[in-house]
Structure 1
């Protein structure tokens, strides 16, 4: 009986232990984040931030154009205001003269004239006066309609400017949010793991680049920026975003490029990957949201992201779309 009781106690204890083990968490509660998972999330956040940044750059270009148009419309509206005021005064003077009796006086002279020739002449004058009065009213109506058209165009352009400025604010907020999330994720990693993420895909050597013509000036400038910071919307001298770097690099060669990767994709003839030469612009993602500069030997120099800054990396370190040769 005693042995049976011991066996029962042992069986119950073993079952309780098994049950307890079954309910224990499979991993520690404070397990370190998986570096591959963090790397993928950081990459995604940086890409989303850069997409917002390039949309921001596109919107800035559009805003500049809209504001220029708005200025021209306002100037045109001002000139039209002046023309309308001149006609308004002419009409006003005509009406005043009519009610002051000048028209009746002229009519009286025509009726009382004994000279047929003078009568005909004065009648012609009277007719011309009335025609001129009609023309003044027609001119006024025409100028007023022109002013209404210009006023409507100005109001529409001003509304577009306001909408675009609101969009710029939203894109800036998106950039800040994504960047803050990426910084938080990186902050959760140990220093060694964080460095592993930040240094991946880069090359520690500074390659010799052989470029010719105007491309030589562009490549030289871009390579001189290696190690500088990445800041969304920046175009030097101490920090750049991707399109800001390529824009400023080619500016040294006298070639004007827009501050937008998608706009730069339309800035010159497209070239095949097999025909790439140093200085060519290379583009990434669909829709296009990143641009770098080819420097030869399968490498590019680019302003990559806030953690990496301006650096040299492989041509296919990102999803490659195509290339353009400026100039």
Structure 2
């Protein structure tokens, strides 16, 4: 656990260095030292807003992966339907040529060489001898063309959804960066000891042992080993995490697959009453849900909290509690 504290000290030192390097004295009158409680509240708000954007970003990545998979399937389906349509078209063309064999083929030629499937159908239906054609072939071609049109429209809609979601990801990432920059700028206005006081508030003593059994013990052991690691939005190890990235990787050690999203993890297992909490249960915060930690007993949780504090142990009710889930 000493290594965890060293990593936390390194994180705090890094923030302090940013503040020192970014401070340029001027000849203007010194500004009043900001009130530490006001800074605490504002920093907490900025970290909270950044994490909300980060979890929306995680949700969007999950949705984007699903949409891209659907788009690939639709494109493959469209390709197969295109091949089927072309095969039927060839049959229809051969039938037309055989029927008009020995006669003037000017009108027939226009039909056979048409590249546009819809135009092919239109020309075919207006031929003077249409009623004498093999009606089943014509109907089959018409039906296959409708199927292809439906598949193309579905593919275009899914492609539009992918493009829109990619833009949303960019917006959420910009929000994360903006809020984090604002928080670091506020911390930079404080003295080193005041910064450390803000960033250490709420930290609980790390228990020497967490009683757990079964698969939960593997998840807890992993999460506790990360205490002191950095918080990085969108990260899932090995040395930096966001809140849902930590719980996802912790439970992965126990063979349980969780999505990289706090709101999605809230739907990943049975909901547990607070009075029934056991070590290893996932606990969720804020409305809408945008933070998750792991219960370790005695009213404590381990969680990747924010960029200022990283992964640490804190109280169960250090944030607005919503509910709990038991994975596995």
TM interval, shorter chain, is 0.7 to 0.9
Cross-structure match for 2:275: 274
Within 2, Cα distance between the matches of 1:172 and 1:325?
Answer: 30
Q: Does 1:230 align with 2:214?
A: no
Mapping 1:311-326, distance limit 5 Å: 311-326=312-327
Within-5 A mapping of 1:232-271: 232-271=233-272
Work out the CA distance in 1 between the residues paired with 2:302 and 2:168. 31
Which residue is 2:300 aligned to? 299
Which of the pair has the greater relative contact order for Cα pairs under 8 Å at 6+ separation? 2
1:46-125 matches, cutoff 5 A: 46-101=47-102
For structure 1, the 5+ residue unaligned runs are: 1-27, 103-129
Rg larger in 1 or in 2?
1
For residues 100 and 205 of structure 1, the distance between their equivalents in structure 2, rounded to whole angstroms, comes to 91
Task: Tell me the equivalent position of 1:107.
Answer: none
1:101 Cα deviation after fit:
3.5
1:132 shift after superposition: 7.3
TM-score normalised by structure 1 residue count: 0.81
Query: Tell me, what secondary structure is at the counterpart of 2:134?
Result: helix
Equivalent residues in 2 for 1:181-260, closer than 5 Å: 181-260=182-261
**What residue in structure 2 maps to residue 143 of structure 1?**
144
Whole-angstrom distance in 1 between the partners of 2:75 and 2:193: 59
Checking the alignment, whether the CA contact within 8 Å between 2:67 and 2:161 is kept in structure 1 is yes
TM-score of the two chains, using structure 2 as the length reference? 0.81
Structure 2 counterpart of 1:112: none
Report the secondary structure of 2:41's partner residue: helix
Cα RMSD of the aligned pairs, angstroms, is 1.4
Alpha-carbon separation, structure 1, partners of 2:150 and 2:34: 62
Displacement of 1:29: 5.6
Shift of 1:203: 2.2
Q: Is the 8 A contact 2:248 2:259 kept in 1?
A: yes
Structure 2: unaligned runs, 5 residues or longer: 1-28, 104-130
Shift of 1:183: 0.4
Q: Deviations over 1:203-260 (max 9, x none)?
A: 2434310101111111011111111111100111111100000011111111111110
Contact 2:96 2:133 in 1 (8 A): no
Deviation at 1:274, TM superposition (A): 1.0
- Kindly report structure 1 stretches of 4+ aligned residues shifted beyond 2 Å: 203-207
| 2:314 alignment partner, SS class | strand
For residues 178 and 224 of structure 1, the distance between their equivalents in structure 2, rounded to whole angstroms, comes to: 29
SS in 1 for 2:306: coil
Aligned residues: 273
